[in-house]
Amino acid sequence: MAKLTLSVDGRVVSRAKQCAKLRGVSVSEMVETYLAAVSAPPSLDTDAAPILRSVRGILKSADVNEYRKHLAAKYR
């Protein structure tokens, strides 16, 4: 395990410590998780939010005209 020294605003450190305590992890674990996430090799779905990835493709067979009719009726 490598050691890393960072310069971080004291208020940020305090909030990070509180957050880590609530989550039951160390600040080091939170930083490692973050760095792993932002340095992961890009994939096709990294640009999409998790909720978007979960519903992607669900409307492939949807009829756009039916949806427009639904919206027109809904917002009369």
Q: How does pLDDT run across 3-56, given as a tens digit for each residue?
A: 999 999 999 999 999 999 999 999 999 999 999 888 887 766 556 677 776 777
The pLDDT score that the predictor gives to residue 44 is 61
35 three-state secondary structure: helix
Alpha carbons 30 and 16: distance in angstroms, whole number: 9
Domain ranges for the chain, please list them. Answer: 10-74
The pLDDT score that the predictor gives to residue 17 is 96
The pLDDT score that the predictor gives to residue 51 is 74
Token readout for 7 is: 């310069």
